[in-house]
Structure 1
Amino acid sequence: MNIIPRPTPSNMWGRMKPSKLYSSRPAAFAAVEFEPDLNVVLAEIRLPENRDRDTHNLGKTTLGRLLDFGFLAGRDAKFFLFKHLDRFEDFVFFLEIELLDGGYVTVRRSVAEATKIAFKKHVARHQDFSTLPDREWDHIDVPFDRAKELLDSLLDWRAVKPWHYRKGLGYFLRSQEDFRDVFQLRKFANSHADWKPFLAHILGFDAELITRHYAKEDELKEKEQKALTIRQELGGEIEDAGKVDGLLLLKRQEVDKKQQLLDAFDFRSQDKSDTKQLVDQVDERIAALNQRRYSLNQNRKKVIASLEEDQILFDPEDATELFREAGVLFSGQIKRDFQQLIAFNKAITDERRGYLVEERAEIEVELKTVNSELNSLGKRRSEMLAFLSSTDSFAKYKRLSSELVTLRADIEGLERQRTFVQRLQQLRTDIRNLDEEKTHLQAAIEADVEAKNADVGSLFSRIRIFFNEIVEEVIDQQALLSVVVNHLGHLDFRAELLNDAGIATSADRGFSYKKLLCIAFDLALLRAHLDDAFPRFAFHDGVFESLDDRKKENLLAVIRRYTGLGIQSIITLIDSDLPPRDADEPVFEPSEIVVLLHDEGDNGRLFKMKSW
C-alpha cells in the first residue's frame, strides 16, 4: 500500500471530494455547491396527501446517480438520463472535483455524446464553465475509455492502486440497491475474483496473494477441462504412453522391412515366405485330400461291384431245357426247390443292397466335398505359384506398397494417439503442480489473514475498531467486522451484530440495521485511510430511514464527528425522518442544506420538470 505523509487538517480537509455539480440548463437543474464537511439533501413533504407515500420522486436519490455520471459511470440503457433521452438529450453536466494537490478538475459530459469527455484543471473552487468555449478546455472530446484513464491519473488515488478509481467508488456513492450487502456492491454482480481482491486490498490484506490464488484456480480449472476433453477424444483408447510407444516400435519395424524390400526391388524374402506357406500348408492339405479321395474312390468301386455281384443269374427253366437235351431227368420237385432257394437268397440280397446303396450315397457326398476343396486349394496354389513364377515384378511391388500404406496409416493413428496421451500426461503434471501452488497460496493467505487479525496496529484492526465504535455509538450494540479464509482458500467478509455474550445475532439482517452496517463500514474505511491518497467523501441515500429518533441523533453525531476528521458526508433524507427538535434548535444549519426539495410543484424537484 502506498502511504503519503499525513497533511495538516487545514490542508487535508478539502481534498479528494466532489466540489460542485451543475448543468448547461440551470433553470432546469440548479447548481449544487458541496461543502467540505456535511452536505444535506433534504426533501420536505409539505402536502398532507403525500406523507404516507413510500416514494416521492423529488430527486434526492437522483443526485447520487448524477455524481456517478460525472465520475464517468458507463452508459446503461436503464439509467434515467438515457432511459428518458427525449427529456435529457440537450443536458450537459459538469462535475468539479477537488484533487490531492488542492487544485480542481472539472469534468464535462453531455447526455447526447456521453462517450466524449472534456477536462479542465483550475485553482479556484465553485467555477462555472458551462459557457466556456471548447478551445479553453485542457482536453476536449476525449474517448470514454481514455477519459477514465485520464481522470484516474488526475484523481491520483494511489491507495487503491493497482485498481482503477471506479473500482470501489460504489462504497462512497451508496445507492439504495447498495445497502443490501455491506461488501458486495450492486456492480459486483460478477465473479468474486473481480472484487474480493480489491476489497481485501483496501482492508489491508495482501491482495496479490488472493489475485494469484484466483488465477491459479482458474488455470487449474482450465487444465482439468482440457484433460477431460482429451480423455473424451481418446474414447477409451490406451492412455499409457509406454504401451503406445511399444506398438509404434513394432509397426515401424514392420514398415522398415517392407520398405527395404521395395527399395531394393528384391522379393526373395517375400517369395520364400510364400513358398514355405505353399509347402507347409497348401500342398500338405492337397496331398491329404488326394489320399482321401483315392480311398473314397476305391470304396466306391467295391460298393458298385458288390451291387453287381448280388444279381442271381440261375434260371430253372433254362436248366430244365439243358437237362432234357442231355437226356437227364429233371423232375418238378427239384425245380421247385431251386425256386425256393432263389427266393430266399433274393430276400437276403435286397437287404444287403439297401445298405450298399446308402453307403455309396455317403461316399458320393464326401467325394463332392473333397473335390470342391481340392479345386479351391488348386486355385490358391496356382495363384501362389503364379506369384513365385511371375516375371511381372510390378504386381509384387503393388501388393507390398498397399500393405505399407496400411501400416503407415496405423502408425499415423498411433502417433496421433500418442500426442493426445502425452498432452494428457503433461496436463496431469501441470494439474498436480498447480494444485500444489494453489495449496501454498492458500496457506500464505491464511497466514496473512491470521497475522493481520492478530496485529492490533494493522489497517484491518483499525477499521474493525472504527466500525464497532460507530455501531455501538448509534445502537448501543457491538458489531464485529471479520475476514476468514474458507475451505476453498477464498476470503469471506462478515459484518455482524453481537449480543451481550459476544455471539452474532440476526439483527443485522433487517434492512435498517443492514444500512447502518453499510454506513459504518464506509465511514470506518474512510477514516482508516485518512493518511493515504484515498477518497474522502461518502454519499448515503436515506440515511435515517427506519431508525428510531434516538438512533438518528446518535448517527448524526457520528457523521458530524467524522466530517470533523476531514471526511465529506453527503446525506439525503425526508423531513419526516428528521429527529424531533425544538423550533429554535434546527437539526441542520442552513449552510449544511445544499439541496432543499419539496412536493409543491415542479420547482421543488431536483430537475424542475414533470416527474418521469
Structure 2
Amino acid sequence: MKLSKLYSNKPELFGPIDFRSGLNVVLAEIRLPDNRDKDTHNLGKTTLGRLIDYGFLVTRDPKFFLFKNEALFSRFVFFLEIELADASYVTVRRGVEEATKISFKKHEASHQDFADLAEEDWDHFGLPFERAREMLDGLLDLRGVSPWDFRKGLGYQLRGQDDFQDVFQLRRFGIGAHKDWKPYVAHILGFDHSLVQQHYEKQEKLEEAKSVADTVKAELGGTVDDVSKIEGILQLKLKEAEKKQKLLDAFDFRQQDKERTKQVVEDIDARIGALNTQRYSLSQNRRKIAASLEEDQILFNPSEAQRLFQEVGVLFAGQIKRDFDQLIAFNRAITDERRGYLIEEYAEVEAEIKGITTELNTLGKRRSDLLSFLSATDVFAKYKQVTDELVTLRADIETLERQRGFLRRLQDLRTNIRKLSEDRTHLQSQIEANVEAQSGEINSLFSSIRLYFSDIIEEVTSHKALLSVYVNKEGHLEFKAEVLDDAGKATSADLGHTYRKLLCIAFDLAVLRAHLDQKFPRFVFHDGVFESLDDRKKANLLAVIRQYADLGLQPIITLIDSDAPPPSEDGTPVFSIEEIVVRLHDEGDEGRLFRMKAW
C-alpha cells in the first residue's frame, strides 16, 4: 500500500499532490527574513499528514482542524488515491459536510481526477462510515496487520510532531491503555500477539472477579465467612419453624405448654436459684467488708485524753503522749493500706451484685412471660404468640438463606479467581518462552528488525542502538529502544528529543523493511524529519531514507528549507525536482497548503 494522489474539489484552494514511488519531500521555504526565527509558520506541512489520515477514514473529531473551522471547509471534498498491492488503485472520496458518507472507486490507471465524477459512476457511493471502513479494509487487504484492521498501526506510518515522544506508544493510543497497542506492537515485531492479548483479557477478568468478590463480602457485612456454619444454623431454625407451623396447623398447644414448662423449671428457675445463691454470698461478703471498714477507725485521741486528765488532775504529758502518738500513727499507716484493699474489693463485689441483679430481672421477666403463656386460658392469645415467634423465625431463616447465597457465590468467585490467576501465570510463562525464542533466533522477524534498527542509528550517529523486549513482573511486555555507548551500555542520549525522534524514525523504517515480503503498508510520513540535527547527521539520515526508498518503500518527509542537509560540494541541490512533491513558502496565501488566510 502506497499513496498515489491527494486532491480536492476546490483545486484553486487546495491543489493536487501527486506522490511518487520513492522519496517524497514536502519542502517549506522561509523566504521572508522576519519569519526565519519563528518556531511555527502555519504553511501546512504538518496539516498534510492530517489530511492523509482523513482520507484513511479517521473518526470525526470536533478538534480536527476541518471541523474546528467548519465554516471554512464545509464545502470541501477530498480524494485520496491509494496504490494497492496488485498495482491497481482505489480512490476514497470524503467530504467535510457529510464526513460519515464515504465513496469508493477502484481503477487501473494512477493519478486520476474524479472530482466531477457522477454519483452513479462510483463503485460505492455514500456508504455509512463503519461500512466504509470495512470496505476499505477489504480493498487494502493488509494481511500483515491481521487480525487488526488497516487503521490500527496507521499512526506508525503517519508520525506528526506529537508522535515522536515515544517510539512505541503513540499519542492516539492515550496514556495507560497498554492493552490497546502492546499486542499490535508485539505482532509487528514477530511475537505471539494472541498470548499477549489473552494475558490482558485474563488480567481484566481477574480484576473484575476480585471486585465482585469484594462487593459480595461487603454485602455479608463481615459476619460469617463459613458456609457450613450458616447451613448448620439454618437447619436448626428450619426445624424449629417446622415444629411451630405444625403446632399452629393442629391448633394444639399441649406440646408447646410442656416445652415451656420444662424451660421454666429446668432452665430459668435453676438459673434464678443459682444467681440468688451467688447474690446472697456476695451480699454477705459486702456486709463483712463494710463492717471491717468501720472497725478500722481509730477512736482514741491523745489530745482529748490529755485534756481529760488535766481536768481530774492526773499528769498526761511528755513521753507518755509521744508514745501514744507514735502508736496511733503506726496503726493508721497499716489501717490506710488495708482500707485501700477493702474499698477496692467492696467496689468489685458491688459491681458483681449489680450485674447479677440485672440478669435476675431479665430472667424474672422471661419467667413471668412463660408462666403467663402457661396460665393463659385464651387459646387465641397462645396462637398469636406462637405466630409472632414463627414470623421472627422466618425472618431469621430468610436472612440466613441470603447469607448462604452470598457465601456460595463468594466461594464460586474465589474458585474462579484461583483459576484465572493460574491461567494468567501460565500465559506469562508462555509469553516469556516466546520472547526468549524470538530474541534468540537469528532468523526471526524480531532479530531482523532489531538489526535494521541498530544499523540505521549507527549510520546516522555512529552509535549502535538496541531494541529490546522483556516481560515485566505483571506478565506484560515492555519495549525499549536505547542508544548504546562504545562499551555497549545504554546511554541517556535517547532521553533527548532529537535522539527520540531518530529512534522513532529508525523503528518505523526497520519495521516496514522487515515486512517487505508481506501485505503491509509501504509508505511512511515523518513530519519535521531533520529538525535539531547537525548537518552531518542530516546528510546521514537522508542517505538512509533514500536507501530505504530504493528498497521499495515510500518515505514522505516534511522540512523547512533551513533544516535541509547541506548541498554537495559540486553544488548539486539536496533534493531533485522530482522528489519535491509539495513546495510551500511564506510569501502570501499562495504559498500555503490551503491557499487561504491562516485559520
Normalised-by-shorter TM-score class: 0.7 to 0.9
TM-superposed CA distance for 1:279, in Å, is: 6.9
Deviating more after overlay: 22-31 vs 394-403: 394-403
What residue number does 2:495 align with?
A: 509
What residue number does 1:404 align with?
A: 390
Q: Structure 1 residues 269 and 580 mapped into 2: Cα distance closer, same or farther (>3 Å)?
A: same
TM-superposed CA distance for 1:395, in Å, is: 3.3
Report 1:169-568 matches (<5 A): 169-190=154-175, 191-276=177-262, 383-384=372-373, 386-387=375-376, 390=377, 393-568=379-554
Secondary structure in structure 1 of the residue aligned to 2:558: strand
What residue number does 1:307 align with?
A: none
Once residues 10 and 365 of structure 2 are traced to their aligned partners in structure 1, the CA distance between those partners, rounded to angstroms, is 107
The letter of the residue matching 2:5 is K
Q: Say if 2:264 and 2:367, in contact at 8 Å, map to a contact too.
A: no
What residue number does 1:368 align with?
A: none
Q: Over aligned residues, Cα RMSD in angstroms?
A: 2.3
Q: Structure 1 residues 250 and 384 mapped into 2: Cα distance closer, same or farther (>3 Å)?
A: closer
Secondary structure in structure 2 of the residue aligned to 1:108: strand
Once residues 224 and 231 of structure 1 are traced to their aligned partners in structure 2, the CA distance between those partners, rounded to angstroms, is 10
TM-superposed CA distance for 1:236, in Å, is: 2.0
What residue number does 1:59 align with?
A: 44
Tell me, yes or no, if structure 1 residue 610 matches structure 2 residue 597. yes
Once residues 47 and 366 of structure 2 are traced to their aligned partners in structure 1, the CA distance between those partners, rounded to angstroms, is 100
Q: Structure 1 residues 408 and 379 mapped into 2: Cα distance closer, same or farther (>3 Å)?
A: closer
What residue number does 1:27 align with?
A: 12
TM-score of the pair, normalised by structure 2: 0.81
What residue number does 2:103 align with?
A: 118
Secondary structure in structure 2 of the residue aligned to 1:596: strand
Secondary structure in structure 2 of the residue aligned to 1:591: coil
The letter of the residue matching 2:138 is S
**Alignment partner for residue 168 of structure 1, among 148, 153, 164?**
153
Q: Structure 1 residues 277 and 250 mapped into 2: Cα distance closer, same or farther (>3 Å)?
A: closer
Once residues 384 and 463 of structure 2 are traced to their aligned partners in structure 1, the CA distance between those partners, rounded to angstroms, is 95
What residue number does 1:303 align with?
A: none
Q: Structure 1 residues 386 and 66 mapped into 2: Cα distance closer, same or farther (>3 Å)?
A: same
What residue number does 2:340 align with?
A: none
Q: Say if 2:231 and 2:404, in contact at 8 Å, map to a contact too.
A: yes
Q: Alpha-carbon deviations, 1:23-63, whole Å to 9, x = none?
A: 00000000000001111111111111111111111111111
Once residues 2 and 366 of structure 2 are traced to their aligned partners in structure 1, the CA distance between those partners, rounded to angstroms, is 104
TM-superposed CA distance for 1:383, in Å, is: 3.8
TM-superposed CA distance for 1:284, in Å, is: 14
Q: Structure 1 residues 104 and 270 mapped into 2: Cα distance closer, same or farther (>3 Å)?
A: same
Secondary structure in structure 1 of the residue aligned to 2:181: helix
Once residues 429 and 279 of structure 1 are traced to their aligned partners in structure 2, the CA distance between those partners, rounded to angstroms, is 50
Q: Say if 1:21 and 1:33, in contact at 8 Å, map to a contact too.
A: yes
Tell me, yes or no, if structure 1 residue 592 matches structure 2 residue 575. no
Once residues 559 and 405 of structure 1 are traced to their aligned partners in structure 2, the CA distance between those partners, rounded to angstroms, is 85
Q: Structure 1 residues 82 and 583 mapped into 2: Cα distance closer, same or farther (>3 Å)?
A: farther
Once residues 221 and 592 of structure 1 are traced to their aligned partners in structure 2, the CA distance between those partners, rounded to angstroms, is 53
TM-superposed CA distance for 1:161, in Å, is: 0.9
TM-superposed CA distance for 1:273, in Å, is: 2.7
The letter of the residue matching 1:596 is R
The letter of the residue matching 1:597 is L
What residue number does 2:336 align with?
A: none
The letter of the residue matching 2:77 is V
Q: Alpha-carbon deviations, 1:213-239, whole Å to 9, x = none?
A: 011111111111111111222222101
Deviating more after overlay: 526-535 vs 136-145: 136-145
Secondary structure in structure 2 of the residue aligned to 1:407: helix
Q: Highest CA radius of gyration, 1 or 2?
A: 1
Once residues 380 and 161 of structure 1 are traced to their aligned partners in structure 2, the CA distance between those partners, rounded to angstroms, is 80
Once residues 531 and 444 of structure 1 are traced to their aligned partners in structure 2, the CA distance between those partners, rounded to angstroms, is 28
TM-superposed CA distance for 1:103, in Å, is: 1.1
Once residues 18 and 462 of structure 1 are traced to their aligned partners in structure 2, the CA distance between those partners, rounded to angstroms, is 26
**Alignment partner for residue 96 of structure 1, among 67, 71, 81?**
81
TM-score of the pair, normalised by structure 1: 0.80
Q: Say if 1:278 and 1:384, in contact at 8 Å, map to a contact too.
A: no
Q: Alpha-carbon deviations, 1:64-114, whole Å to 9, x = none?
A: 110001001111222111111111111100000011222111111111111
Tell me, yes or no, if structure 1 residue 153 matches structure 2 residue 150. no
Q: Alpha-carbon deviations, 1:197-255, whole Å to 9, x = none?
A: 01101110001001010111111111111111112222221011011111011111111
What residue number does 1:358 align with?
A: none
Q: Alpha-carbon deviations, 1:486-507, whole Å to 9, x = none?
A: 1111111100000000000011
Unaligned runs of 5+ in 1: 1-15, 290-374
Once residues 8 and 572 of structure 2 are traced to their aligned partners in structure 1, the CA distance between those partners, rounded to angstroms, is 34
Secondary structure in structure 1 of the residue aligned to 2:203: helix
What residue number does 2:57 align with?
A: 72
Q: Say if 1:223 and 1:430, in contact at 8 Å, map to a contact too.
A: yes
The letter of the residue matching 1:452 is Q
TM-superposed CA distance for 1:425, in Å, is: 1.4
The letter of the residue matching 1:260 is K
The letter of the residue matching 2:51 is L
Q: Say if 1:282 and 1:381, in contact at 8 Å, map to a contact too.
A: no
Q: Alpha-carbon deviations, 1:308-336, whole Å to 9, x = none?
A: xxxxxxxxxxxxxxxxxxxxxxxxxxxxx
Q: Alpha-carbon deviations, 1:430-465, whole Å to 9, x = none?
A: 111111111111011000001100001110000000
Once residues 236 and 99 of structure 2 are traced to their aligned partners in structure 1, the CA distance between those partners, rounded to angstroms, is 70
Once residues 384 and 558 of structure 1 are traced to their aligned partners in structure 2, the CA distance between those partners, rounded to angstroms, is 103
Tell me, yes or no, if structure 1 residue 46 matches structure 2 residue 31. yes
Q: Structure 1 residues 435 and 285 mapped into 2: Cα distance closer, same or farther (>3 Å)?
A: closer
The letter of the residue matching 2:478 is D
Q: Say if 2:483 and 2:494, in contact at 8 Å, map to a contact too.
A: yes
TM-superposed CA distance for 1:584, in Å, is: 4.0
Tell me, yes or no, if structure 1 residue 106 matches structure 2 residue 91. yes
Q: Say if 2:539 and 2:566, in contact at 8 Å, map to a contact too.
A: no
TM-superposed CA distance for 1:384, in Å, is: 4.3
Once residues 494 and 368 of structure 2 are traced to their aligned partners in structure 1, the CA distance between those partners, rounded to angstroms, is 97
Once residues 555 and 584 of structure 1 are traced to their aligned partners in structure 2, the CA distance between those partners, rounded to angstroms, is 19
Deviating more after overlay: 466-475 vs 252-261: 252-261
Q: Say if 2:257 and 2:374, in contact at 8 Å, map to a contact too.
A: no
TM-superposed CA distance for 1:278, in Å, is: 6.8
What residue number does 1:85 align with?
A: 70
Q: Structure 1 residues 51 and 403 mapped into 2: Cα distance closer, same or farther (>3 Å)?
A: same
TM-superposed CA distance for 1:271, in Å, is: 2.4
Deviating more after overlay: 492-501 vs 549-558: 549-558
Report 1:572-587 matches (<5 A): 572-581=558-567, 582=569, 584-587=571-574
Unaligned runs of 5+ in 2: 277-363
Secondary structure in structure 2 of the residue aligned to 1:180: coil
Q: Structure 1 residues 80 and 284 mapped into 2: Cα distance closer, same or farther (>3 Å)?
A: closer
